[in-house]
Structure 1
Amino acid sequence: MRSSPYWPVIRHSTLRRILPGFAVSSLGDGMSVVAVSWLAIELASAADRGVWVALATAAYTLPGAVGALLLGRFLRHLRPAQLAGWDAALRAVALGAIPVLHAFGALGIQGYIALLAVSSVLHSWGQAGVYTLIARVLPERDHLAGNAVLSGLGSVATVAGPPWRRC
């Protein structure tokens, strides 16, 4: 194990603290693969379900691309940890509002789409912050392994997330 190229990444003091959080966040993203569409199906009227599911999926991803393009002037000077933190906080508030509003019967399909869109505005910057943090804290020889660990966690979470959603 100690001869693995991933060992220095896993054992790095800073990354050892953030990797569990990144893994949980990735698992949540994996769960969203199913959950975003599923809730849109439940909230939308039968006649318009296809359109609302497509809009929900787009709202969960496209604002991140738009945010990457339009917010660069304001965000590119922030520290990587700040970018990741702001993204995580915005996602926690916006996505956390969804079950709360749903539990009180106050979540309609339009509000759901809006909350999904808000949750993703900073996501491209947050992801970039995480990968930049890897580049800043690890020596150059470990960059590839660090990026592979993050990408691997994301890939595993995409597969493991949907079944966990049922738990």
Structure 2
Amino acid sequence: MGTLLQDMIENIRFEDLPVTWNTFDFEGFSESKTLWDYQQNAVRNAIKVLWKYFEDFVDYQNNESLEMNKVRKEKLFNWYKDNGLDSDFDFKLTNKSNYKLLAEYYPQVDDNRLSYENFINRMSFWMATGSGKTLVIIKLIQILSELINRKEIPPHDILVLTHRDDWFSSKKCG
């Protein structure tokens, strides 16, 4: 599914995004590090998806209701379907403890099944070992903070799953 999204956003020209979405320093990282072209491209692709979600589908408004996020998820899910997603990615809940936990937070499609639409607005990166994923993610978090300050996206916590306890401290964006 990740390659499908990449194919979908390749039709969006980064230069055509509004100024508030495309005026970031993509190369600079620190005094001794800069991002390579492929790393900068990964960040740009992530921003294009965020722009599609928060501006093109339904333009984000400060203090909007949570209902708008459901509308965006539905539009994103339909965009995937319009571009060739034909697999069933719904979650089948056969484990009773998983069912009880998830059913409290997500609507059911039918018994023991959660629609993938509930999870479609997640982002991840697949890059080779040693390719600089950490730098890409940290740079993206910096840009997310700038987008929050520009009021282009809502302020939310960011969940980063990693095997390293020292990778992030508990700081919030925005």
More strand by share: 2
Q: Say which structure is richer in helix.
A: 1
| TM-score normalised over the length of structure 1 | 0.25
